Amino acid sequence: MKKIIRIISIALLPFMVNAQALDDYLQIAAENNPEVKASYARFEAAMQKAPQVSSLPDPTLTMSAFGKMIETRLGRQEAKFSLMQMFPWFGTLKAREDAATSMAEAGFQQYLDTREELFVKVKTVYAEMYELQATIRIQEENMEVLNTFRELALSRFRNGKAAMVDVVRVDMKRNDAGTEITLLKDKRASVAYRFNALLNVAYDSEVVFPETLPALPEGEGMEQGNIEGDSLFAAHPKMQQLDKQTASYAAQRRAAVKQGLPMIGIGVDYSIISKQTEMNPENNGQDVIMPMLSVSLPVFRKQHKARVKEADFLAEAARQESVAVRNRLRADYEMARYDIRKAQQRIALYDKQLESTGQAMKLLLSSYGNTDSTMDEILRLQQEKLLYQAAKITAEKDGFSAYARKAYLLSED
């Protein structure tokens, strides 16, 4: 039993290593990518808006000194100090705070969307890295097979059973394969640079090219085809962002309505009175303290009505944009599901074709060893096998990229 578990663990090791490597790359990208960091900084800036709009206006302090003393019954008025604090109408500050908070939450959803879009880009380039690495591998395997074919053709030529042209034809294919391998290896650097740019690390940082990609789950792309878009994409950051914006505009409207109501001011006047010298009335020279109450008169209604209309139009724009975004998400989702199904069907087809090609190759090699047939048919079949292998690798890459897009659209981890 332990031996069986060990064999299974060894078989799954490449998938576990690649998954771990990809998770590490995603973590690095989330922490380093400048677009993600800029989006988060904008969210942090938006969070500072709520304390600004929810605070009371600063109180006003007025000081008056009289050049010529004003005579009062209790003495001369030498100076006066006035302190006034204005209070917006009840609920105004709360509405402003709600508007700013909801807009900041919308900014956070934008940050999440930027990060998730980055993850899709990283996974897409990661799949391209796999395609490149796997293509190099099959080309090198093809070169080994061609070397075997050359030895076989050369042996038959020496035995007088084949012409030298068979060896030449194999050499031509070997030259093609060698050049292709060189070009593919040269391409690794440019793909690695593009990958490192997404991670925002040094352009020449070492990148581990994956040997395999996680297999797509069985039946992937077939589910959730009939679910309504309203519920399917409700958790998507773009939809959440627009929902938060709509809530912010509703709070802005409440604040605009309340701004059209009076502001109430509460204050106090303090007058310094000097004593009279000619007479000594009761409370002679006593300073005067006078409470004050003021009310603003919002008689110019045009600005307040304009603020309300502005909030209404912005809310309507957010609602319409929400419909447009939902439609785009649905279209992209259906295309991703199609691409997944297409990749699965192509992989299944190429597996069958490769199996048939292997059987045909055995028959051809057996025939070539016992008859006077040429190498042409063997080379043609080997080329078909190489094309099927490359097409399967591309299908695996396309399926992985489509699955990454689907996971992004459904806000799946």
- Tell me which range, 6-15, 67-76, 264-273, is most confidently predicted by mean pLDDT: 264-273
pLDDT at 292 over 70: yes
> Three-class SS of residue 289?
strand
> Three-class SS of residue 81?
strand
Instruction: Name residue 82's beta-bridge partners.
Output: 62, 269
Name every residue whose Cβ is closer than 8 Å to that of residue 143 and which is 6 or more positions away in sequence.
174, 177, 178, 181
Note the residue count of the chain.
413
What distance in Å separates the CA atoms of residue 318 and residue 249, rounded to the nearest whole number? 9
Name the pTM for this structure. Answer: 0.85
Least confident of 43-47, 165-169, 333-337: 165-169
User: Which pLDDT score, from 0 to 100, does residue 222 have?
Assistant: 54
Identify the DSSP state of 79: E
Query: Which ranges constitute the DSSP H helices of 48-163?
Result: 49-53, 92-158
Instruction: Name residue 65's beta-bridge partners.
Output: 79
> pLDDT tens digit string along 31-63?
999 999 999 999 999 999 999 999 999 999 988
Q: How many helices and strands, by DSSP H and E, does the chain display?
A: 9, 4
Superfamily for domain range 2-32+93-124+192-260+301-409: Outer membrane efflux proteins (OEP) (1.20.1600.10)
Mean pLDDT throughout 97-121? 97
Structure-token pair, residue 345 = 């069907």
User: Which pLDDT score, from 0 to 100, does residue 183 have?
Assistant: 97
Identify the DSSP state of 371: S
What distance in Å separates the CA atoms of residue 340 and residue 334, rounded to the nearest whole number? 10
Query: Which ranges constitute the DSSP H helices of 296-372?
Result: 302-370
Q: How many CA atoms lie within 13 A of 82 on its CB side?
A: 10
Mean pLDDT throughout 335-350? 95
CA distances from 119 to 21, 31, 232, 341 (A): 14, 12, 20, 22
What distance in Å separates the CA atoms of residue 261 and residue 259, rounded to the nearest whole number? 5
Segment (H or E) for 169: helix 164-199
Q: Specify whether the CB–CB gap between 83 and 61 falls below 8 A.
A: yes
Identify the DSSP state of 256: H
> pLDDT tens digit string along 222-237?
555 555 556 889 999 9
Structure-token pair, residue 83 = 């302190």
Confidence of residue 174 (pLDDT cuts 50, 70, 90): very high
What distance in Å separates the CA atoms of residue 218 and residue 118, rounded to the nearest whole number? 26
User: Which pLDDT score, from 0 to 100, does residue 9 have?
Assistant: 40
Q: How many CA atoms lie within 13 A of 258 on its CB side?
A: 17
> pLDDT tens digit string along 270-291?
887 777 666 666 666 677 788 9
Identify the DSSP state of 72: E
User: Which pLDDT score, from 0 to 100, does residue 5 have?
Assistant: 34
Give the CA radius of gyration of the chain: 39
